Amino acid sequence: MTVRAYVALGSNWGDSASLVGRAAEVVASLGSEARVSSLYRSAPAGPIAQPWYVNAVVGMDTVWTPDILLRHLWAVERRFGRWRHAHWGPRLLDCDLLLYGAWVVDKPEYLVVPHPRMTARRFVLEPLAEIAPEIQLPDGRRVRDLLRKVQDQEVERLWP
110-146, pLDDT tens digit by residue? 999 999 999 999 999 999 999 998 999 999 999 999 9
Question: What is the Cα–Cα distance from 92 to 48, expressed in whole angstroms?
Answer: 15
Active site members: 82, 91, 94, 96
36-90, pLDDT tens digit by residue? 999 999 998 777 788 999 999 999 999 999 999 999 999 999 999 876 565 666 7
* pTM recorded for the entire structure: 0.94
Peptide linkage before 114 cis (omega within 30 of 0): yes
CA dihedral for 59, 44, 53, 15, sign (positive or negative): negative
> What's phi and psi for 141, nearest 5 deg?
-70, 140
Question: What is the Cα–Cα distance from 122 to 45, expressed in whole angstroms?
Answer: 11
Question: Hey, what domains does the chain have and what are their CATH numbers?
Answer: 3-159 (3.30.70.560)
